[in-house]
Amino acid sequence: MNHATFLNLNDPLVNEIGNFAVNEYNKQVFFSDCPCVIFSCASLNHATFLNLNDPLVNEIGNFAVNEYNKQGNKLKFEKVVDGVSETTSQGTNYRITLSASYGSTSKNYAAIVLDNPIQHIRKLMNFAPIKA
């Protein structure tokens, strides 16, 4: 006969198990879509999935491509495919997968953008092609 027991939600072990479960799940979701090292989801404790219809999300994606193009590249932003945001003490980190084209060839890229509108800071932290 099975017996159910209520858990003490203040027990550190219960929280540790919960964090472990979420981190393992996040690894599966992101690493199956993006094998990029910069999407180390184990470090995302309080990440929120992005609403791809939010104009700010596309603004962040367009910003990432424009900043990357300052290095002599000529990509054209298409859309944000997936991503999460996490609020930190420095602002909001957007970890996105975006689609951009060069000529008639379209590829996916992984980008991290730090955004802090209060301090008027928006910075491209990382940008890399996703290998198929």
User: Does residue 88 have a pLDDT over 60?
Assistant: yes
DSSP, collapsed to helix, strand or coil, labels residue 4 as: coil
| Tokens encoding 85 | 């945001």
* Domain spanning 46-129: CATH 3.40.190.80: no
Per-residue pLDDT tens digits for 63-82: 999 999 999 999 999 999 99
User: Does residue 8 have a pLDDT over 80?
Assistant: no
User: Does residue 100 have a pLDDT over 60?
Assistant: yes
Count CB-CB contacts under 10 A for residue 72.
6
The residue ranking higher by pLDDT, 3 or 50, is: 50
Partnered with residue 127 across adjacent β-strands are: 111
- Global pTM? 0.68
* Alpha carbons 10 and 78: distance in angstroms, whole number: 45
User: Does residue 6 have a pLDDT over 60?
Assistant: yes
Per-residue pLDDT tens digits for 29-40: 444 344 344 444
Closest residue by Cα to residue 47 from 65, 70, 22: 22
* Alpha carbons 87 and 101: distance in angstroms, whole number: 30
The residue ranking higher by pLDDT, 118 or 32, is: 118
Residue with tokens 């994606």: 61
User: Does residue 43 have a pLDDT over 70?
Assistant: no
Strand ranges, E, within 45-130: 48-49, 76-88, 91-102, 105-116, 121-129
